């Protein structure tokens, strides 16, 4: 079946329910396919209409990028033999309950938007090479358990947006390669010292963090004390945090901090500018 096809986009095909009548274990499904985009398939239910005992789902031996978006009827999906998969996006698939995945040794970029929390962990637990993890609009995601993140030692970028996250730092203490952390519009998240109950030890694991971006976190009153241990921090940005009031004195100890941005934080006051005198770039205080 189209043995040389490398890119396939299926967009807004509302009549499409399955891609095959039944699976065939003899040959890979699109053996040369590298990019597959399934978008707006409102009635798509899976790869094969008939599941035959002993037969597996289609394999994609060269697939490197897979996008699944707005597939309203998709509840389960089996993805086997995709050893080259490096990028996976799943967007707006709120009915998706189960993914059957092999180990994904090459997966480096994972973007998840409006899926169930269990989908997040099902993918992460078989992905040891992730470098970028972006999560949007997962309302039942309330914490990042450290036992589910501790193997992500290659992760460089973590972005969490529009989630009901209530705790954060204990879950990211093992992310020793993390360089960029963005937390946006997580309105239940408390980044105060209530999380910092072990003397800041969880922050000491963030040995590579260079950029910290915090936006629209209403419960942010002050920076957690443990952040002073992140001596690699170069950029600190705080926007739209209505209760954020002041910078701690220890900010002067962050010798690598070269850019500070604080904007649209109505309660913020800087009474002593000497504590930030070492920072070359200061915007919108």
**What is the token pair recorded at 240?**
């739209």
Rounded to two decimals, what is the model's pTM?
A: 0.91
Residue-level pLDDT at 22: 67
152: CB partners within 8 A, 6+ apart:
124, 127, 128, 130, 133, 174, 175
Q: What is the pLDDT of residues 116-154, one digit of tens each?
A: 999 999 999 999 899 999 999 999 999 888 788 989 999
38: CB partners within 8 A, 6+ apart:
10, 44, 67, 68, 69, 71
Question: What's the distance, Cα to Cα, between the start and end of the chain in Å?
Answer: 60
Looking at 3.40.50.720, 3.30.930.10, 3.80.10.10, 3.40.50.2000, the CATH number of the domain 131-285 comes to: 3.80.10.10
State the alpha helices, DSSP H only, in 81-145.
117-124
CA distance 94 to 148: 22
Q: What is the pLDDT of residues 209-226, one digit of tens each?
A: 999 999 999 999 999 888
**What is the token pair recorded at 18?**
């399955």
Residue-level pLDDT at 88: 97
State the alpha helices, DSSP H only, in 42-162.
117-124, 146-149
Q: For residue 59, is pLDDT > 90?
A: no
- Under 8 Å between Cβ of 86 and 64: yes
Work out the mean pLDDT of the chain and round it to a whole number: 89
Q: What is the pLDDT of residues 175-212, one digit of tens each?
A: 999 999 999 999 999 887 654 455 566 788 899 999 99
- List the beta bridge partners of residue 220: none
CA distance 239 to 217: 8
19 — pLDDT class (breaks 50, 70, 90): confident
* Cα distances (Å, whole numbers) of residue 173 to 66, 108, 256, 260: 30, 20, 20, 23
Domain with CATH 3.80.10.10 in the chain: 131-285
Residue with structure tokens 């904007």? 263
């Amino acid at each position: 079946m189209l043995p040389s096809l490398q890119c396939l986009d299926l967009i807004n095909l509302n009549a499409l329910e399955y891609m095959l009548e039944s699976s065939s274990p003899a040959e890979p499904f699109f053996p040369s396919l590298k990019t597959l985009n399934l978008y707006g398939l409102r009635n798509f239910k899976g790869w094969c209409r008939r599941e035959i005992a002993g037969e597996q789902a289609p394999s994609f031996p060269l697939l490197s990028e897979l996008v699944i978006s707005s597939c309203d009827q998709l509840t389960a999906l089996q993805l086997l033999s995709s050893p080259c998969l490096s990028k996976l996006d799943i967007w707006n698939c709120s009915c998706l309950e189960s993914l059957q995945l092999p180990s994904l040794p090459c997966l480096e970029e994972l973007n998840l938007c409006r899926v169930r929390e269990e989908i997040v962990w099902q993918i992460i637990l078989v992905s040891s090479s992730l470098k970028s993890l972006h999560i949007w609009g997962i309302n039942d995601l309330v914490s990042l358990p450290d036992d589910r993140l501790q193997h992500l030692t290659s992760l460089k970028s973590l972005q969490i947006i529009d989630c009901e996250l209530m705790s954060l730092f204990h879950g990211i203490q093992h992310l020793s390669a993390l360089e960029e952390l963005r937390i946006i519009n997580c309105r239940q998240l408390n980044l105060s010292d209530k999380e910092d109950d072990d003397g800041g030890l969880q922050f000491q694991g963030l040995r590579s963090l260079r950029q910290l971006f915090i936006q629209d976190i209403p419960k942010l009153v002050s920076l957690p004390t443990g952040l002073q241990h992140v001596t690699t921090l170069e950029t600190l940005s705080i926007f739209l945090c209505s209760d954020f009031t002041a910078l701690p004195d220890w900010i002067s100890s962050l010798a690598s901090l070269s850019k500070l941005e604080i904007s649209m934080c109505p309660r913020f006051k800087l009474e002593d500018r000497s504590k930030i005198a070492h920072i070359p770039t200061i915007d919108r205080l």
